[in-house]
Amino acid sequence: MKKITRYTPPSTNSLTSFKRELDMTGNQMADLAGLADGRQWRKYTGGATPRELSAQMLFMLAARLTLSDAELEAVYAKMREIGAEIELGD
Separation of alpha carbons 31 and 49, rounded Å: 22
pTM for the whole thing? 0.86
Separation of alpha carbons 87 and 72, rounded Å: 13
Domain ranges of the chain: 12-82
Residue 16 pLDDT more than 80? yes
Query: Does domain 12-82 sit in CATH 1.10.10?
Result: no
The per-residue pLDDT for 48 is 87
The per-residue pLDDT for 46 is 86
Residue 90 pLDDT more than 80? no
Residue 89 pLDDT more than 90? no
Per-residue pLDDT tens over the stretch 52-70 = 999 999 999 999 999 999 9
The per-residue pLDDT for 88 is 86
What is the DSSP-derived secondary structure letter of residue 37? S
